[in-house]
Amino acid sequence: MTERDVFLTPEGLKKVELELEEAKIVKRKEIAERIKQALDFGDISENSEYDQAKNEQAKLEERIAKLESILRNAKLIDEDDITTDIVGVGSKVSVLDVEYEEEMEYTIVGSAEANPYEGKISNESPVGKALLGSKAGDVIDVSVPDGVLKYKVIKIAR
């Protein structure tokens, strides 16, 4: 697997660092204790508590590896580098859905930080990709599974 740049805001970077610290310090210790307790039950060949704890340990180690990869490849989005002339990673974009005349606001972030419920969309998502490079007043087409959406870029902010 090739590693690529992961764009993070300072807030997103802090979130990843805190999750990694919690996983390494707290969760590893909790799972190790559960494995130790399960081993005290005896025969591990029929010990579901042991199997479950080992599975959780594997998932945790996978998550830790992913978080470390994110941090290793992190490219910090500097607010001073965000322009209001053209949409880029870090931009806050107000758009109008042309068909439904509904206004929405998105912040374009890296995939590790994306959270559509908070209005943070990935620069790799269909909408994020389509918005990148656009200017206020542009009408863009976004290909989605249901067809094509038309958005008019109303405002670009930091």
Do 79-157 and 6-76 have the same topology in CATH? no
Per-residue pLDDT, averaged over 148-153, amounts to: 96
- Tell me, what's the pLDDT at 1? 46
Mean pLDDT for 49-69 is: 95
The CATH architecture that domain 79-157 belongs to is: Roll (3.10)
Contact 85, 135 (CB under 8 A): yes
The CA distance from 156 to 158, in Å, is 7
Provide the mean pLDDT of the chain: 93
Identify the residue whose tokens are 């979130």. 15
Question: What is the tens place of the pLDDT at every residue in 67-102?
Answer: 999 999 999 998 888 889 999 999 999 999 999 999
pLDDT, tens digit, for every residue of 115-146? 999 999 999 999 999 999 999 999 999 998 88
> According to the model, what pLDDT value does residue 78 have?
86
Give the start-to-end residue ranges of the domains of the chain. Answer: 6-76, 79-157
Mean pLDDT of 13-32: 97
Any idea which residue has 């204790």 for tokens? Answer: 33
Q: Is 117 left (phi over 0), alpha (psi -120 to 50) or beta?
A: alpha
Instruction: Look up the pTM and report it.
Output: 0.80
The long-range contacts involving 76-82, CB below 8 angstroms and separated by at least 24 positions, are 76/8, 76/9, 76/10, 76/13, 77/7, 77/8, 77/9, 77/10, 77/109, 77/110, 79/158, 82/158
**What would be the CATH architecture of the domain defined by 6-76?**
Orthogonal Bundle (1.10)
Q: In the predicted model, is pLDDT for residue 42 greater than 90?
A: no
